[in-house]
Amino acid sequence: MKYLVFGILLLILLPTVLSLNIISPEYDRKYNSSIVLLNISEDIKSDFFLLDGASGNSWKKICEKKELCTKNIRAKEGLNVLKLKSVDINGISSYGDVSFDVDTKKPKIITTTPYNNALTNGKGFSIKYSEENLDSIILYYGTPGNYLPVLNTDCESGIGKKCDFDKLNLLEFDGTLINYWFVVSDGVNSVSSKMNRVKVDSLSPELVNKEDYFTVDRNVVSFTFEVDEKNFKDIIYKDTNDCNVKSVISGILCGKLSYGRCVITKTFCVGNHEILITIRDKAGNSQELDPISLTRDGYSGEVILE
pLDDT for res 244:
77
- Domain 108-200 sits in CATH at 2.60.40.10
In the three-class reduction of DSSP (H, G, I as helix; E, B as strand; rest coil), residue 5 is classed as helix
- Which of 15-24, 207-216, 266-275 comes out lowest in average pLDDT? 15-24
Same CATH topology for 2-102 and 108-200: the answer is yes
pLDDT for res 56:
63
DSSP string for residues in 284-301:
S-EEEPPPEEEEE-TTT-
pLDDT band at 166 (very low <50, low <70, confident <90, very high): confident
Share of the chain above pLDDT 90, in %: 84
E strand map for 2-157: 21-24, 30-31, 35-52, 58-74, 78-88, 93-102, 108-113, 119-120, 126-131, 136-143, 146-152
Higher local confidence (pLDDT), 110 or 299: 110
Provide the β-strand partners of residue 50.
60, 84
pLDDT for res 247:
85
pLDDT for res 246:
77
pLDDT for res 55:
56
Q: Residue 160, by phi and psi: left (phi above 0), alpha (psi -120 to 50) or beta? A: left
Every domain of the chain and the residues it spans: 2-102, 108-200, 206-305
List, for residues 223-238, the tens digit of each pLDDT value.
999 999 999 999 999 9
Q: Which helix (H) or strand (E) holds 13?
A: helix 2-13
Report CA-CA distances (Å) from 207 to 134, 200, 262.
46, 20, 11
The fold for domain 2-102 equals: Immunoglobulin-like (2.60.40)
The fold for domain 206-305 equals: Immunoglobulin-like (2.60.40)
